[in-house]
Structure 1
Amino acid sequence: MTGNEISNTPETGSRLVDRFIRVQKAFTTLGGEVHGTGALAKAAKLDDSTTSRILQSGVYSSFFERVGHGKYRLGTTAAHLGMHALAHAPSKDESTHEILEELRAATDGGLVFQYMLAPFAGAQRQCIDMAVGESDLVELGMTARDILSITRSLRTGASGRTILAYLPEAIQDVVLAEPIPAEAGPGIYRDNDELLASLADVRDRGYALGYEECMPLWNSCAAPIVWGEAIMGTVLLLKPATIMPEASDTVIEATKTAASKLSAKLGHLSEPMAMMFGS
């Protein structure tokens, strides 16, 4: 019996589960939608025959779907598990909103936004809450369209780049292939190599700084909201460039603290069974 064969020992069940999970993760590693048995086997570090058996068994439970001869994609059961996992993301309530208000107070009245990953609309983010005090966003040069359209892109702004930095490379490639929003600010990263370098910097530092990226005359600081090792969203502090030409250590630490508190909201939950984008 070779090392890749499934034996009839008591360990068979756990080994089979492990291999099944490895094949699932192979889809997120490879990116894209449809893959052949050989590519999935290589990514899962299994032989072709073992991978084929796993894929065929997974078709019956809708974990995988067969798309043509020897081609597969993730199925509806995987998506269903992903939806259940993502349902535990922090939502807009009194306790999470208070964290945003605390950040606003700690930074002398900055505009604070909470964005969460919105994978079912593609690799994008969605604003789910904000703490802006009595500010009129229209008078500040922001419109609902700015918040709901320009800021959806993960390649735009400190908040977008913060999320993008922690996503798998295959998903990053999809985002980098997207067009830059026409309304983006002058500080937007237009060169993909520079953008990728900025993502490495975000991972090293644990936060991102943006200078007129989403819109002119506004600078920002963002930090990630995470669930275990999975990126879920980000907290963004926004201030006029005339008031905050550079983010101070106080601003950076306050933003990171707010993100940590929101991440802790997920800490009491069990680990997700499946994440739409993997880790």
Structure 2
Amino acid sequence: MGNSTTATGSPASADAAATGVAPRSAGHAKKARQTPKGTASAGSRPSGSGHAERVFLVQTAFAELGGSAHGPGEIAEFTGLDDSVVYRILQSGIYQRIFERVDRGLYRLRTSAAQLAFTALDHRLDGAASQTVLRDLRRATDGGLAFLYMVAPFSGAQRQCIDMAVGDSDLAELGMTPRDVLSVTRSLRTGASGRTILAYLPEVLQQRVLAEPVPEQAGPGVYRDNDALVASLAEVRDLGHALGYEECMAGWNSCAAPIMWDGSIMGAVLLLKLTSVMPVAPDGVIEATKEAAAELSRYGAARPSADQA
């Protein structure tokens, strides 16, 4: 349900694009290539001298290249590894249930990779912790409506509201219908929280969102021009927050800040208030929203186990 507009905030390095690819083995040199904005080139990653490093490079290539499936040659060019090395890793990965062949010469990650992600997220954040943070945000903003949005587990280009602190308010009283929840607020094109998440996603996922139509139920402040939307994402990364003005719903303004775990965007905290109460988000609201997001980010930070400390 986030609203948005002049959003912004975070490291400019997320936009940096590296060029060049590590030379291929057996004396074969590869042409330097420029990788998409927001991704690291093979030249900036480990050269893959060890077998384990090579396997990880191939796995990472699927995530950074985007798309549904890729061939060994494309992965070899992206990683700087030899074609034969990539092919052997892919074949071994099929038997290990890491990769699957979807067509002649085309491979993709198996869904078992998602299970690894779910395992990694286990115990990172519980409902009691998020409720405490959202309730504190509500109090700090004089009764603002606080929401927690996370990247949807079955789509890397949508969001899902998983928790909220709205006091005794009924969402129907706010003009938010179930249809709105399933259409407007899941899109990353709309709302301060949507654009906050979108700002930190890889470019391949950003392009997917930019190709989507604007939800019909979006508010009058929604970004309809893709150039303006992209420019707002740069502001989000620069400032570390987004401001929304009637973007998802008429009559509501908002502020959102990113939740980052281990350097990856996981979601956003959204603070929503009536335009009559908050025509412009004051500094206190912005700082409180950013602190709530920072607190939830700390829950997901990698910590050494007891025997490693």
**TM-score, with structure 2 as normaliser:** 0.79
61, 75, 78: which one pairs with 1:43? 78
Cα distance change, pair 172–88 in 1 and its aligned pair in 2 (3 A): farther
User: Aligned match of 2:166 in 126, 129, 132?
Assistant: 132
Partners of 2:269 and 2:292 within 8 A in 1: yes
- Stretches of structure 2 lacking an aligned partner (at least 5 in a row): 1-22, 27-47
In structure 1, distance between residues paired with 2:272 and 2:281: 10
- TM-fit CA distance, 1:268: 5.1
CA–CA separation in structure 1 for the residues paired with 2:226 and 2:126: 32
In structure 2, the partner of 1:4 is 25
Root mean square deviation of aligned Cα: 2.0
Structure 1 residue 44 displacement after superposition: 1.4
Could you tell me which residue of structure 2 aligns to residue 178 of structure 1? 212
Residue deviations 1:23-57 (CA, integer Å, cap 9, x gap): 11111111111111111112212221221121111
Counterpart residue identity of residue 113, structure 1: F
* Alignment partner, residue 189 of structure 1: 223
Secondary structure of the residue aligned to 2:257 is strand
Structure 2 CA distance for partners of 1:268 and 1:26, relative to 1, 3 Å:
closer
Contact 2:24 2:81 in 1 (8 A): no
Say whether residues 1:169 and 2:190 are aligned partners. Answer: no
Give distance in 2, aligned partners of 1:196 and 1:90. 30
| 2:85 paired with 1:64 | no
Is structure 2 residue 79 aligned with structure 1 residue 27? no
1:96 CA drift (Å): 1.8
**CA offset at residue 270 of structure 1?**
6.2
Q: How many Å separate the matches in 2 of 1:270 and 1:116?
A: 24
Q: 1:3 to 1:142 in 2, by over 3 A?
A: closer
- The structure 1 segments of at least 4 consecutive aligned residues displaced by more than 3 Å after TM superposition are 86-89, 268-271
Shift of residue 122, structure 1, vs aligned partner = 5.2
Structure 1 counterpart SS, 2:172:
coil
Q: Distance in 2 between matches of 1:81 and 1:14?
A: 25
Deviations 1:131-154 (CA, angstroms, capped at 9, x unpaired)? 111223222222233234320111
- 1:190-205 matches, within 5 Å, as 190-205=224-239
Distance 1:214 1:89, change over 3 A: farther
Aligned to 1:250, which of 259, 281, 284? Answer: 284
Q: Percent identity?
A: 62
Pick from 3, 9, 18 the counterpart of residue 53 of structure 2: 18
Give the Cα–Cα distance (whole angstroms) in 2 for the partners of residues 88 and 155 of structure 1: 30
What corresponds to 2:251 in structure 1? 217
Amino acid at match of 1:58: G
**Higher relative contact order, chain-length normalized (CA < 8 Å, sep 6+):** 2
CA contact (8 A) 1:4 1:50 kept: no
Q: Distance in 1 between matches of 2:116 and 2:153?
A: 13
Deviation of residue 99 (structure 1)? 0.8
Partner Cα distance (2:171, 2:103) in 1: 51
Cα deviations across residues 221-261 of structure 1 (Å, max 9, x unaligned)? 00011111011111000011121111111111100000011
Partner Cα separation in structure 2 for residue 69 and residue 104 of structure 1:
54
Give the CA deviation at 1:88. Answer: 4.4
- By how many angstroms is 1:83 displaced? 2.5
Distance 2:173 2:112 in 1: 46
Contact 1:89–1:232 at 8 Å: present in 2 too? no
* Residue 85 (structure 1) aligned to one of 107, 113, 120: 120
Structure 1: which 5+ runs fail to align?
6-12, 272-279
